[in-house]
Amino acid sequence: MAHISFDSSALTKFVHDNELSEIQPLVTAADKELREGTGAGNDFRGFLDLPVAYDKDEFARIKAAAKKVQGNSEVFVAIGIGGSYLGAQAAIDFLNPNFYNQQANRSVPEVYFAGNSISGSYLHDLVQMIGDRDFSINVISKSGTTTEPSIAFRVLKAKLIAKYGAAGAKERIFATTDKAKGALKTEADAEGYEEFVVPDDIGGRFSVLSAVGLLPIAVAGGDIDQLMQGAADARSEYTNPDVTKNEAYRYAALRNILYRKGFTTELLENYEPNLRLFGEWWKQLMGESEGKDQKGIYPSSANFSTDLHSLGQYIQEGLRNLFETVVKIDDAPNDVTIPDDDKNLDGLGYLAGKSMNYVNDKAYHGVVLAHTDGGVPVMTVNVPKQDAYSLGYTIYFFEIAVAISGYLNGINPFNQPGVEAYKKNMFALLGRQGYEELTKELTARLNK
């Protein structure tokens, strides 16, 4: 039995029983494309076996590096954008208490993220916040040439050198990048930083279980052995192409069935604030994998019950092109009992003695019924615990689901050609060498 369970029982109004068996041949074909490598983007299927086929020596080095940082740093900054930070931050938030950076008596450094925007204010404030404290950085970029992390790295490297000198700074810089190419690789080799590798056959959005995610997660105290074990067990679980046996494939099939009926936007939802970043990770995974050739489900996210008081109206009664996938934690790590209050002026007496997790659960059931009545299909991924094993399992569930889903929709789930368009324009407008013609063209367009 799968460790996490997928519940599509609320879909009866939207999907008939026969539809799953009728889409099965397409799922079987998608499975074949993925497993046999006959599908588009077949060079990027490394995520399939990563949970068992990872580099064990590097894994040990990651643990040693994490220990070193824990021993000599009050602050750790992970520099990266897209797949080079979302998985790490999602995992760290998922595995730690809310407000982990503010906890008293922490045994691990505070962890922050940089290089995921071009905001000068953000980087300025981060530098101020680090102040004179001891810190280390992990610069993460698969290509090694991405502008946002490169800028942040320059700034933070300069701060390290100013504080520790060039030799001391080197001891506090960890570079995660391609094994052979890119500016970051060249610099890491030249300067002698400790290096970790993003394997060639793993795309950025599928890289959280490589060094990209593992080093920051380990620095923050996460159990990366359990994380990999969860993913490895999911790998064994989700092998049968039969959608009645394989819940990840059933999820992929159902979202494709819904998409074909006009449900073109999917909201990934949670009922725990520290799963917000999980939704951000998922959006890149889904959006970059599926949104191409002028088609694909638009991935969005919502955080409940927070957004029930803002987006809730739209979800209940707006344009009927939405469906929802809830990531629901069965057994949240902590809870609060609602206290007695004799005066009962707030009218909450009927909840006295009940736990907040109990109320949260009732909210979830109420929402599923209300949204279903309102014409919104809801599916749920039940995750037993907010721990590393469950997280690894859940990550693998969504990774394999999106690969199948992409092939079902006739696209290459492993490339992202569309993200280059804005970059070219930005480089041209910044006057980068090699973009001279485009600079002229765009400047003329802007000055028209």
Looking at the Cβ atoms of 174 and 249, the one nearer to ligand G6P is 174
At residue 389's C-alpha, the angle toward residues 174 and 354, to 5°, is 120
For 216, 404, 443, the CA distances from 110, given in Å and listed in that order, are 11, 38, 43
Strands (DSSP E) contained in 5-119 are: 5-7, 75-79, 110-114
Q: Binding segment for ligand G6P among 138-146, 251-259, 267-275, 379-387 (CB under 6 A)?
A: 138-146
Q: Please state, in angstroms and rounded to a whole number, the distance separating the CA atoms of residues 354 and 119.
A: 44
Asked if 185 touches ligand G6P (CB under 6 A), the answer is no
Asked if 83 touches ligand G6P (CB under 6 A), the answer is yes
Size of the site for ligand G6P (CB under 6 A): 14
Looking at the Cβ atoms of 92 and 326, the one nearer to ligand G6P is 92
Q: Which two tokens stand for residue 149?
A: 């992390």
Asked if 143 touches ligand G6P (CB under 6 A), the answer is yes
Q: Please state whether the peptide bond connecting residue 390 to the residue before it is cis, i.e. omega within 30 degrees of 0.
A: no
Looking at the Cβ atoms of 417 and 434, the one nearer to ligand G6P is 417
| φ and ψ at residue 20, rounded to 5 degrees | -65, -45
Q: What is the number of residues in the chain?
A: 448
Asked if 141 touches ligand G6P (CB under 6 A), the answer is yes
Per-residue contact flags (x/-) with ligand G6P for residues 384 to 423, judged by CB under 6 A:
--------------------------------x--x----
**Neighbour-count burial for 249-258, b at 16+ CB within 10 Å, e otherwise:** bbbbbbbbbb
Asked if 89 touches ligand G6P (CB under 6 A), the answer is no
CB of 379 to ligand G6P, least distance (A): 26
Q: Give the one residue of 73, 84, 303, 325 binding ligand G6P; rule: CB under 6 A.
A: 84
Q: Please state, in angstroms and rounded to a whole number, the distance separating the CA atoms of residues 50 and 202.
A: 9
Asked if 283 touches ligand G6P (CB under 6 A), the answer is no
For 63, 96, 147, 206, 207, the CA distances from 226, given in Å and listed in that order, are 13, 15, 34, 18, 17
Q: Binding segment for ligand G6P among 76-84, 256-264, 354-362, 371-379 (CB under 6 A)?
A: 76-84
Asked if 352 touches ligand G6P (CB under 6 A), the answer is no
Asked if 210 touches ligand G6P (CB under 6 A), the answer is no
Q: Please state, in angstroms and rounded to a whole number, the distance separating the CA atoms of residues 185 and 381.
A: 39
Asked if 82 touches ligand G6P (CB under 6 A), the answer is yes
Asked if 199 touches ligand G6P (CB under 6 A), the answer is no
CB of 421 to ligand G6P, least distance (A): 11
Q: Which two tokens stand for residue 171?
A: 């001891």
Which is the catalytic residue, given 67, 179, 423, 440? 423
Q: Binding segment for ligand G6P among 20-28, 79-87, 336-344, 351-359 (CB under 6 A)?
A: 79-87
CB of 220 to ligand G6P, least distance (A): 20
Strand order through the sheet with 378-385:
5-7, 378-385, 322-331, 265-270, 298-303
For residue 215, how far is the Cα from the chain centroid? 15
For this structure, is 441 an active site residue? no
Q: Are strands 378-385 and 5-7 parallel, antiparallel or unpaired?
A: antiparallel
For this structure, is 56 an active site residue? no
Q: Give the one residue of 33, 288, 387, 399 binding ligand G6P; rule: CB under 6 A.
A: 288
List, by residue number, the catalytic residues: 288, 423
By the criterion CB under 6 A, which residues form the site for ligand G6P? 81-84, 141-143, 146, 149, 204-205, 288, 416, 419
